[in-house]
Structure 1
Amino acid sequence: MAAISASLVKELRERTGLGMMECKKALQEADGDIDVAIDNLRKNAGLKSAKKASRVAAEGVVTVRVADDASYAALVEINSETDFVARDDNFKAFAARISDAVFESKNEDIAALMEGELEEARSQLVQKIGENISVRRAAIVEAQEGGHVGGYVHGDRIGAVVSLKGGNVETARDIAMHVAAINPAVALPENMPQEQLDHEKAIILAQPDMAGKPAEIAEKMVQGRLKKYLAENSLVNQPFVKDPNQTVANFAKEAGGEVIGFVRFEVGEGIEKEEVDFAKEVMEQARR
């Protein structure tokens, strides 16, 4: 059985809201796999959902730039090893330079973009500050004919761009703010991957209240819960963060717009970060 660290229990508690002992037991039964533990809790304890992992692997910034005519926008993530460096003026200047280069060239290919002067600037910055600096990813979002894009950045760490058919840039920006805050899985229900729907269906079928139900009743219950799942995780069906009495789709419609899609970047998301126990490290050094 894998050793269950306090930090892992803490993360599961933050993501589920359950008690410490329940989380520790779930992790032990899942051999330390937090995603498996969450699935098992959802099956056995009726847990409806869990927050997405908040632990990130890298520091840095996300930048968003939108063209004056709202015809396109650029998102970029630039990483540093520590938050201290991410606040450094030299790092910020480098990040702005990269953001400008992506925006002006409309080039998402980081490898190609970083050839020549920009890579030299990165290398010099690494030598100057003593930390690794990397340009992780970039995205260009272009508006459809007659449409608009709008962007929003929250605290230099979360950026989002929304594309609308029709509408206006202010509406697109407000919806981008919603995307940054709520982090929907997809823009439209039909965009949800079948693999994810199959996974959710398996969890629903394993929940206690499904036991012994006739097949046709169970299927109706599954479809009802999947419909609710899609509503909760699809941008257009979510209650709009600035006015929960209407959906995002309705908010866009009031401005003559229709949501086409979105892109959202969050600093360090999806990167595994090694947890360092500094007290243990000091003790080991002292014993040498």
Structure 2
Amino acid sequence: MSTVTISAQDINKLRQATGAGMMDCRKALTETNGDFEAAIDWLRKHGQKVAAKRSDREAKEGVVIAQTTPDNKTGIVVCVSCETDFVSKNTDFVAFVQSIADAAINNNVNTIDELNAVEINGAKVIDLVNDKLASIGEKIGITKFERVDAPYVASYIHGAYRIGVLVGLDKEAAEAGKDVAMQIAALNPVAIDESSVPADVVAREKAIIVDVMKQDPKMAGKPDEMIAKIAEGKLGAFFKEQTLTAQAFVKDAGKSVAEYLKSAGDVKVLEFKRVALG
């Protein structure tokens, strides 16, 4: 029995991240001794549909800007978080975040620390952020930063600055880059293709599939080797739904993203980054 105290705040955080019911979230946290990630897996293993990736829930409100250098060889995504949508929707705050993104591009920034040290009109970004915090009365900060370098980088901002995407391609292909960036914004793939899915992600998915199968009365008495083999087959559905090139193309569900890229000039995706508020 768990000895960890499960607070209403813990339960609400899990509800926000998964969309599961309050009682299910309480039980999941109790069964996993308050381990947030383990609780998400517990919900999935017990038939709950997890509503969203946790990364989309890290920043409550804010502005995400994605943009590239003029030659489209480098792209950056920067997220400046705040506490309320009243601030995030303010045009002055959006302009403030845009000025930080511009500074990142103009100074060839690679990290948040580098960005905080950059100067805008004689003042360091970190000091400008602190001044903004004092003036608006909310905690704000640069919470996420991503960069992509490639022969051609496309950028895309979706949903009133709530999602920013960068796509690195092996050749110049503006239209394909925008289409793929929109795909990534909408469907949030975990990797480019099956071969690039991290091993720990594959192992986690397989473990969940196996646990669900073992709870199925039809699988009672089946040897573990058989269940494992069936689970390998079921992973195919995961790869089709969760890897970019295998996904159905959002603009034409009759073809995969890989098929679309082939028709667009045999374009290859080398890398992508997706930053989202939630």
TM range, smaller chain: 0.7 to 0.9
Per-residue displacement from partner, 1:52-104 (whole Å, max 9, x unpaired)?
24544442111011234432222111122322222233322321111111112
Aligned to 1:261: 271
8 Å contact kept, 1:58–1:81: yes
Aligned to 1:112: 114
8 Å contact kept, 2:148–2:168: yes
Distance in 1 of aligned mates of 2:83 and 2:19: 29
- Structure 1 residues 69-218: aligned runs within 5 Å: 69-115=71-117, 116=119, 117-119=123-125, 120-144=127-151, 148-154=152-158, 155-166=160-171, 168-207=173-212, 208-209=215-216, 210-218=219-227
For residue 67 of structure 1, the aligned residue among 69, 85, 94 is: 69
Q: Secondary structure at the match of 1:70?
A: coil
8 Å contact kept, 1:12–1:34: no
Q: Which amino acid aligns with 1:262?
A: F
8 Å contact kept, 1:162–1:261: yes
Q: TM-score, normalised by structure 2?
A: 0.81
Kindly state the Cα deviation for residue 13 of structure 1 after the two structures are TM-superposed.
8.7
Per-residue displacement from partner, 1:257-278 (whole Å, max 9, x unpaired)?
12222101113x6xxxxxxxxx
Q: Which amino acid aligns with 2:274?
A: R
- Structure 1 residues 21-36: aligned runs within 5 Å: 22=24, 24-36=26-38
Kindly state the Cα deviation for residue 12 of structure 1 after the two structures are TM-superposed.
4.0
Aligned to 1:275: none
Could you say what the CA RMSD is over the residues aligned between the two structures, in angstroms?
2.8
Q: Which amino acid aligns with 1:228?
A: A
Kindly state the Cα deviation for residue 221 of structure 1 after the two structures are TM-superposed.
0.4
Aligned residues: 263
CA gap 1:41/1:151 in 2 versus in 1, 3 angstroms: same
Q: Which amino acid aligns with 2:153?
A: V
State the percentage of identical aligned residues.
Answer: 36
Q: Which amino acid aligns with 2:157?
A: V
2:236 paired with 1:227: yes
Moved more, 121-130 or 178-187: 121-130
Q: Which amino acid aligns with 1:250?
A: E
Q: Which amino acid aligns with 2:165?
A: A
8 Å contact kept, 2:246–2:256: yes
Aligned to 1:248: 257
Q: Which amino acid aligns with 2:230?
A: M
Per-residue displacement from partner, 1:116-155 (whole Å, max 9, x unpaired)?
51333333323322233312232221223xxx22111111
8 Å contact kept, 1:62–1:159: yes
Q: Secondary structure at the match of 1:174?
A: helix
